[in-house]
Structure formats: C-alpha cells, structure tokens
Amino acid sequence: MLAGEAEALLRAMFEAAVRAADPERVVPAFLPDPPAGRTVVVGAGKASAAMARALERHWPGPLEGVVVTRYGHVVPCERIRILEAAHPVPDANSEAAARAILEAVRGLGPDDLVIALISGGGSALMALPAPGLTLADKQAVNRALLRCGADIGEMNCVRKHLSAIKGGRLAAAAFPARVVTLAISDVPGDDPAVIASGPTVPDPTTFAEARSILVKYGIAEPPAVIAHLARGEEETPKPGDLRLARAEFRLVATPQRSLEAAGEIAERAGIRPVILSDAIEGEAREVAKVMAAIARQVRRRGQPVRPPCVLLSGGETTVTVRGDGKGGRNVEFLLALAVALRGEPGIFAVAGDTDGIDGAEEVAGAILRPDSLERAARAGLDAKAMLARNDSHPFFATLGDQLVTGPTLTNVNDFRAVLVTEPAG
C-alpha cells in the first residue's frame, strides 16, 4: 500500500468514527413519546447544540429549553436557547448557564417531561459551585487536575462534590417531572455517572473519595475547597433516591459504535480491523509504547493477526504536563509512538479527538507515517526532546501532518488506528 493510500484510509476511518456519532443520525431513534404536559429541553456538552437541533427537527409537539455548548460549537435552533461557555476550565458563562438550566426545570409537575441532552465537556460547561465555593475555586481545582494526569473518573468525582448541579442534582431539581437523558458517551466504559459528571443519574462516589483523590495528587488548595470536602455536607443523590425514580438514561452514541464504523471502512479496503478496546486509559506516552510493541509483533511475527490489518482503539488517555510545549493527548500519543517505532516500515497511524479539538488547540490530531522521524530530523526537529516538553502539536504542524476538522459537533473521545500494511521481510 502506497503512503498516500494509507493516509487516505486512516482519514476515512476517522471520518466514519465521527459520522457514527453525528447527533442528526443518532438522536431521533431514541426520542421519548411526547408528554401530556410541557416538554423542557436542557443540556450541556460539546454536542448539545447539535443534539438540540436534531431534537427540534424530529419532535412532534411544542417544546422549550436551554442548553450550553463550547464556544464555537453553536448551531442555530428555533425554540431551544443555545448558550456558550468555556472548556476545559469553566468560566463565568459556565456558571450562568448552569443557573439557567436549573431554573428551567424548577416547578415542573408529574405530567411534564425534561429531555436532558448530555455529552462530553458538559462538566466544565455547566459549572455551578456548591454553597460556600466560588467559580475561582472550581477553576483552580480543574486546572490542577488537568495538569497532574488525573483520569476522567477521578476528575468527575471531585467535580461532583464541588457542584450544585452535577452528580444527580439536576434530575433531583426536576422532580416530580419525568427526566429522559439522551447521552453521547465520551468516557471509558460508558458509565452514565461519569459522562459530564452525571447530572441526571445517581452518584455512587463520596466526599471521602473526592478528598482521597486530591491527596493522591498532592492538591492542597484552594482552602475553601479543602474545607468543603472535609465537611462533607449534602452528599450527592445516591442509587435509590426517590427524587431520581422517574429518571431514565439512553445512550445514543458510544466509542464502540464509532470503532465499529471505522472497522467497516477498513474491511471495504481489504484491511482486517482489530478492535483492541474502546476504553483504554493511562498516560498517552505509555499507551503508545504498548501499541508500538503490538504493531511490531504483528508486522514481524504475524501475531495475533497477520497484516494487512488495522488496530483500532478508543478511550481517554491522560498527559502529565512536564514541559511548556503545546500538545494534546492524541498528538502526544503519536509522537511517543513515532519514538517507540523508530521508523519501522509499513506502519502508519492516526490519533484524534472526535470533537475536533486535541488539548487546547483547534486541531483534532495528526497522522504518523514510517518516515515521520526522518522528515522531522531533516527539518531540525528533535522528537525525543519535543516529547519531553509536551510539544507535540508543533512537531506535526511542521511536518504538515495535522488532522484538522474544525468542531465536529459530537464527542466520543479519542480515536486511534494503527495500520500495519505489510509483513516484515
């Protein structure tokens, strides 16, 4: 397979993964029946505006509501108000949006229906501090958790116990109305309590767990946060809470379905897809070492599968920030993969965030080719040094191998494909 053909196939697989989670394609099949009373739509996440538009287009009766999405991810809606806020660190608009969403569900009756549109990013976009805390307190903790390499479950456990809306509190506020959540999963394992910090589902985590996470990562500020967690007052609604008895949860798109869609593209091209996992976690550079070893085993030994094949995986890796470079977990994975493969022939890869934004850059990810290290050296780039300072975006930008999609208006998290085109020898 020529390099251009391999790259085109990798891009096509990424596009298929994103398309499988397109709200317009997936939302209509999961809509509930209209209620006898009002229909109120609320939501938060990178896909929430696109989900709202899909709902409007396919809803047979009157509706109203408000959702919040990330800056730049807005799509026009006629009856649902679309707000914008910051991600991954919340801002004042995140707090204002959370207040508007809570206000929209208050005072409803048993004949009313709340449809909650929840997707990845919702935790930061809908941020209402618990009593006694400020937005600045939550921002400081968010930044610390992002830099220390905490996984998404740990981050959301802490967030839920600093919030007045997460961890089932939104659904509790809507009681006695019926609540139907339509969710696009961006988390390993598709746990409803983790997606956007589970605002409409019971929360099994505790204040004690949140405290232990901060201790684990050496986070001892701000003082108000530490004091709030120490007091442990007003736990989040737990399984069995009567206020959540009329709440149900429907997954409309998942990482696994997107991996399967990418696999279908590979099969049409005569490439065998192997889905390793939809829930891979861990440091991006460590995951890359494992993937490099597997790809090398496939190429050199024909095990566990003979090439040509593509190794597909999803989930959410993490990056412990050690340097001052510009990077994201997907491009860090690829740069570490390049270093580990050392120019092994016949191995190509793509990694990208399905929301179109990897880290803080408006770049989804990148493409890796067998000659990437060689081309980088000719351009004066030191791959190992750039990896050490978390400077992976400039590496792929210099090579012209970035994957740029713009906001995709959905989010099923990381997508990785390692393509082994030929056996060794």
Determine the average pLDDT of the residues in 140-148: 91
214 SS3 class: helix
Residue 349 forms beta bridges with which residues? 368, 418
What is the per-residue DSSP string for 17-81? HHHTT-HHHHSGGGPPPP-SS-EEEEEESTTHHHHHHHHHHH--S--EEEEEEETT-----SSEE
For residue range 49-90, what is the model confidence (pLDDT) as tens digits? 999 999 999 999 999 999 999 999 999 999 999 999 999 889
For residue 295 the two structure tokens come to: 């790809």
Whole-number pLDDT of residue 234: 92
The whole-model pTM stands at 0.92
27 and 52 in contact (C-beta within 8 Å)? no
E-assigned strands of 132-271?
Answer: 178-184, 247-253
The reported pLDDT for the residue numbered 2 is 87
What is the per-residue pLDDT for 59? 97
Reported confidence tier of residue 256, pLDDT bands at 50, 70, 90: very high
Residue 30 pLDDT greater than 90, yes or no: yes
Task: Compute the average pLDDT of residues 371-380.
Answer: 98
* Partners of residue 69 on adjacent β-strands: 84
pLDDT at 324 over 80: yes
**Predicted pLDDT at 45:** 97
Q: Give the model's pLDDT for residue 342.
A: 97
Rounded CA-CA distance 401/314 in Å is 21
Query: What is residue 107's predicted lDDT score, i.e. its pLDDT?
Result: 97
Domains annotated on the chain, with CATH: 3-18+256-420 (3.40.1480.10), 23-253 (3.40.50.10180)
Encoded amino acid at 310, one letter: V
Position 359 confidence tier, pLDDT thresholds 50, 70, 90: confident
Distance of CA 110 to the CA centre of its chain: 33
Say whether 182 sits in a helix, a strand or coil. Answer: strand
Is 188 a residue whose pLDDT tops 90? no
Output the average pLDDT for the chain: 96
User: Looking at the predicted structure, is the pLDDT value of residue 425 above 80?
Assistant: no
Q: Sheet holding 247-253: strands in order across?
A: 80-85, 64-70, 39-44, 113-118, 178-184, 247-253
Chain segment 192-213, per-residue pLDDT in tens: 999 999 999 999 999 999 999 9
The residues, ordered by sequence, that sit 6+ positions from 406 with a Cβ below 8 Å of its Cβ are 356, 362
DSSP state of 165: S
| DSSP character string of 302-335 | --SSPSSEEEEEEEEEE----SS----HHHHHHH
- Looking at the predicted structure, is the pLDDT value of residue 360 above 80? no
